[in-house]
Structure 1
Amino acid sequence: MSHAHHEVHYSNRTGWLRASVLGANDGILSVASLVIGVAASGAAPSVVLLTGIAGLVSGALSMAAGEYVSVQSQADTEQADLVKEQAELKRNPQFELKELTQIYVERGLTPTLAHEVAVQLTEKNALEAHARDEIGLSETLAAQPIHAAMASALSFTVGAIFPIVAAWLSPAHIAALVVGIVSTLALMISGGLSSYAGGVPLYKGIVRVTIGGILAMLVTAWIGSLFGTHV
């Protein structure tokens, strides 16, 4: 009996994974830093909580807008390359065929086989062949602005919930400490999940996310304690 063979690859996750990891880490770290800084200044618990909520709302919207603009710019560039390549295919198809053949030769095919492959792929879909093998574009890796924006905003919100809930439930005199501990654990989880989704060892994501996060929160707490409630 023959069994269907299906390999799971990680490259098709890069678009949403990048936006999700960036959003979650930013949600945890930026809101935690805000909350810790304000809490360390001696502000009232209501002010600390309001700061966290404001940071969540503004941060999620900012992340969504920024991610959309960034990825849309990439999509515009990709589209411009496709338009240019389509024009070249119409203007000089023989040159484009030779160009595609040479690409396959450089990848290890014999000139005869490379030419045959180039001809068949050109007959099937010339633009798709050139987009994939000459420009490096594919449907899997194509920029998707709306998906990236939604993933970024949602993951930011999920990440920001951890420090906000920690600030809400903890006593005022240890709020900064509790938020720091909870946020550090959340960063470790986020780093581990991103490594797992990306197919790399868990410790890599955990270490690189957590160390930077702890340093950022410590600096923010120090600044908040210096200025006090007069700022």
Structure 2
Amino acid sequence: MSSPAPTARDRRRWARYLVDERAEAQVYRDLAARRQGEEREILLALAEAEGRHEAHWLALLGGEPASLPRASWDTRALGWMARRFGSIFVLALAQNAEGRSPYADEPDASPAMAADERVHHEVVRGLAARGRRRLSGTFRAAVFGANDGLVSNLALVLGIGATGVAPQFVLFSGIAGLLAGALSMGAGEFVSVRSQREMLDATEPNAYADAVLPDLDLDANELALVYRTRGVPEAEAIARAQQVISAAQVAGHPAAATGALPAADAGEVVGGAWRAAASSFLFFASGALIPVLPWIFGLSGGIAVLVALLLVGVALLITGAMVGVLSGGPPLRRALRQLAIGFGAAAITYLLGLVFGVTLG
């Protein structure tokens, strides 16, 4: 029994799948053009797989249609970003797009295609995870520093403004809050990084015992214990200790064992304290400046408050959406959560300012 002829609606749906597959393949090729080595090969392999899906829809359509619809808006936006940025944000968005594949419920898609899309989601997630790990430290400092500045200074200027003081006093309070918070963030980051570096330096092995290596007893010594404190298994530690001592005794000089002792916590990298302090200062200050802008430009009263809320609200939505994209979560939900937290803190201080204003009045 022959299958029924496809309807016009079926052909339109297949055509949409075709253009989306082509657009997604181009996204992966554009991303691959900005990468090297293994990541480039993986992205090109994904583009090739999307090409197989494209061929499936072409076969159902009986060849290239005379006219095709445009790719979906999100796929076109993803392609635009891939051509211009090629960043971790594009991979994170591509991960979300792969997770929304319709092929699981599409009767005209083969089971292999539906399985491919699920595997693609995991592949892109793995690539995005690499970028997240590389970006995590800097991004964390930027988002949390800017967010702290936004929320704390918005709460400060609204709380002060609600007491009914002059606009100049609100402006002075906002600038003071910006400087105090940014200096505090910078100083705290400096102390944190410097202390961490000092602790790591204290764990690094030194040459204190190198001079006595030729004098150690080959069969009874504690050098193996040094290796065991660094995580080397007991049998391997004993073998390596005997090898080092033998080399030092044959040469008659400890230099024969140079580099034999393993480094402690070598995988942990700590950045510069001054750089971390400067970054924290600037990130906090950039966020804290936004709530003060209405008063800097001469606004006052309710208008200044509304403009400050609008500016900070947009900034909170952006930072929340960025966190959502990079974490693989829903950007809108993260953005609204960030907005609710920021405005909630500001509302509490504003109400306290009103209470104090009435009391003082």
Q: Is TM more than 0.5 here?
A: yes
Q: Do the aligned residues in 1 keep the contact of 2:227 with 2:262 (CA within 8 Å)?
A: no
Change (3 A) 1:88 1:180: farther
Displacement after TM superposition at 1:168 (Å): 3.8
Which 4+ residue blocks in structure 1 deviate beyond 6 angstroms?
Answer: 122-125
2:262 to 124, 127, 137: 127
Once the two structures are superposed, the pairs formed by residues 83-94 of structure 1 within 5 Å of their partners are: 85-86=205-206, 92-94=222-224
1:206 to 330, 335, 349: 335
Displacement after TM superposition at 1:53 (Å): 1.4
| 1:4 aligned partner | 37
Change (3 A) 1:126 1:208: farther
Kindly indicate which of the two structures has a greater share of residues assigned to helix.
1
2:178 to 52, 56, 73: 56
Aligned length: 206
Deviations 1:47-66 (A, max 9, x none): 22222112112221121111
Could you tell me the TM-score, scaled by structure 2's length? 0.49
How far apart in 1 are the matches of 2:302 and 2:333? 34
What letter matches 1:74 in structure 2?
Answer: Q
2:349 to 211, 220, 223: 220
How far apart in 2 are the matches of 1:44 and 1:218? 20
Once the two structures are superposed, the pairs formed by residues 4-43 of structure 1 within 5 Å of their partners are: 4-6=37-39, 8-43=130-165
With a CA cutoff of 8 Å and minimum separation of 6, indicate the structure with the bigger relative contact order: 1
Displacement after TM superposition at 1:21 (Å): 2.2
Q: Equivalent residue of 2:328, what SS?
A: coil
| 1:158 aligned partner | 286
Could you tell me the TM-score, scaled by structure 1's length? 0.72
Q: Do the aligned residues in 2 keep the contact of 1:24 with 1:160 (CA within 8 Å)?
A: yes
Q: Equivalent residue of 1:163, what SS?
A: helix
- Flag the structure with larger Rg: 2
| 2:47 aligned partner | none
What letter matches 1:224 in structure 2?
Answer: G
How far apart in 2 are the matches of 1:80 and 1:207? 45
What letter matches 2:311 in structure 1?
Answer: V
Gaps spanning 5+ residues in structure 2: where?
1-35, 40-126, 214-221, 244-256
| 1:138 aligned partner | 268
What letter matches 1:150 in structure 2?
Answer: A
Counting aligned pairs with the same residue, the percent is 30
Q: Equivalent residue of 2:194, what SS?
A: helix
